[in-house]
Amino acid sequence: TFLLWLLCCKTGLVPIGWYGDENPIAFSLMFGIAALVISCPCALGLATPTAVMVGTGVGASHGILMKGGETLEVASKANVVLFDKTGTLTRGKPAVTEFTRVASDEFLRSLMTGDSTMSPDDYIVWLLGSLERNSEHILATAIVKFTEQKIENLLRLNPLAQPTDFVAMTGRGASGVINGNMKVAIGNRSFAERENMALSQEVEECLQRFESEGKTAIIAGINGTACAVLGIADEIKTEAPDTVRYLRKLGMDVWMVTGDSKRTAHAIARQLDLPEDRVIAEALPTSKIDQVRKLQQEGKIVCMVGDGVNDAPALAEADVGISMGTGSDIAAEASDMVIVGGNIAGTCTALHLSRAIFRRIQLNFAFSMGYNIFCIPIAAGVLFPFLQLRLPPTVAAIAMALSSVSVVFSSLALRLYKPPDIAGTAQTSRQKYKIPKILRLGRARNEQQEYKPVRPQEAAWSSDDESDDLEYFSDELV
C-alpha cells in the first residue's frame, strides 16, 4: 500500500492538492501503517480457540466432558447414533425377576448327594450363585444378588462353592465345575446349544414368554441337562424414549445394538418407539465394530454411545464415541465425550451443543473475514480519491482491537446456551405459593361470615395448615 501510493505521488497520478504541504512519503506511509495495523489476523486466530474453550466449559457445566476441538467438529456432522442397550438405554441394574425350574425332583435329588438342607429349587440357585460369584459381568452380578436374597439363611450353613475350570464366553454365557463332579452352565440360547443342552417345549415356552416381556432369558443347565430358565429385567431409563424420539426428529438415524435375543430386543425397541429394522440383536462386541464400520462405509458419520468394557472397541472405532460416566473406566478412556451423570438425554445435549459451537466458530470466521475485507480497503485509501477520507493509524489500531474483542464476546455468548427440551411437550405445572400472614388482609371472618380483627398476638410468619384449595389473597377463614 505504501509503495503504491508513493509511486502514484512520484508519477503525478496523485494531485499535489491531496497532500498539500505534507511530504509524499509521510502521506503514503499513513496509508501503509493503517492498512498494516487493521489487517492484523488476531480475530481470525481467536475465532476457533475461544469458541472451543467456552463451549467445552459450557458442556462441563451440563455434565458433558469433551476431549478437544476436533471432536466438536465431527460431532456436529454426525448423522447416525448407535446405542448400546444395557447400562446405556437401560439403568444397568438388572435383577432376576423370573425363575422357572424345568428339571424333575428326581434328577436334582440324585445330584444333591444326600444333602437334605436344601430344596431342589434352592440347590439350583446355590449352584448358579457359586458359578457366577467370581464373574464381573452385570448379569452375573444380578444372579449372585438373587442367590443371596433367595437363600440367605441357607448360605450361613452352606456358603457358595469355588468353581473350577471356569470358562466365560463374551456375550454368550459361562460354565464351570462345582464340587468336582457337576458341570454347571448358564447362558443364552446359543450357549445352551453349544453345551449340547436339549431344550424341551417347556423351556422354549418360558424363553418366548420372558423375551416377549422384554426380559433377558437365560438357561441354566447341569451336566448337559437344562434345569431352569431365568428372566432378568433391566428397567429402561425414563428419558430413553424421549431421547430416541428427539434424535430421530433431528433427522438422525438411530440404532440399538444388544446381545439379547431378537424377541427381547424387539420388545425393548417397541418401548423406545424404535423400528425393528434398526435393531441389532444377539450381537457380540465384534458385531458392534462391524456395524460401525458398515455404516462408515456407507458414508455415514457414526456416533457410538455405550458404557461397558465390551463397548470400548466400538467407541474407539466410531467417528464420535460417547460413554456414560457411570460405566467402566476403559469405555471412558476410549470415548471422545463422557456424560458424567449417566443421563442418556446428555447425548442430545452433547450433539446439540457441538452443533452450536461449530456454528459459532463459523460465525466468528465469517465476521473476522468480513471485517477485514471491509476495513482493509478503507485503511488502504480506496475512498480517499472520492471523499478525501483517510483512516488514521490510531483509529485503525482501535478498529483492529475491536475486531478481536467482538470475536471474544461472540464466543462468550455460548454461555447463554440452553440444552434442548427433549420431552418437547412437557408442561410446567402451575405452582401455588402461600402468602405470609403479614401480606394478607388484616381481617378475618367468623362462622357467621362476620368480620373480626385478626388477633395481634399471632406471629406474622407463623406456619399455617390451611388447605391448598383455598383461594389465595382472599380473606382468612377462622
Positions annotated as catalytic residues are 84
Decide the pairing of beta strands 173-178 and 164-169. Answer: antiparallel
DSSP reduced 3-state for 423? coil
Beta strand 279-280 with 302-306: parallel, antiparallel or unpaired? unpaired
**Are residues 136 and 120 in contact, defined by beta-carbon separation less than 8 angstroms?**
no
Nine-digit cell string for 299: 458414508
Beta strands (DSSP E) in 342-457 are 443-445, 451-453
Take residue 110 and report the three cell numbers written for it. 440324585
CA dihedral sign of residues 151, 153, 157, 159: positive
Helices (H), 112-183: 120-132, 138-150, 154-157
In the sheet that holds 443-445, the strands lie side by side as 451-453, 443-445, 476-477
The set of residues, in sequence order, having a beta carbon less than 8 Å from that of 275 and lying 6+ positions away, is: 269
Are 343 and 239 a contacting pair, CB within 8 Å? yes
Residue carrying the nine cell digits 438373587: 146
- Residues 301 and 64: their CA atoms lie apart, in Å, by 20
Single-letter amino acid, residue 88: T
- And the C-alpha cell for 328? 467402566
Strands 443-445 and 476-477, sheet pairing: parallel
Q: What is the largest CA-CA distance in the chain?
A: 122
Question: In 77-137, which ranges are continuous DSSP H helix?
Answer: 105-111, 120-132
Distances (CA, A) of 153 to 150, 171, 414: 8, 32, 59
Q: 199: Cβ–Cβ under 8 A, 6 or more apart, which residues?
A: 189, 192, 193, 207, 219, 226
**8 Å CB contact between 47 and 372:** no
**DSSP run (H or E) holding 443:** strand 443-445
Q: Is 113 exposed, middle or buried (0-12, 13-18, 19+ CB in 10 A)?
A: exposed
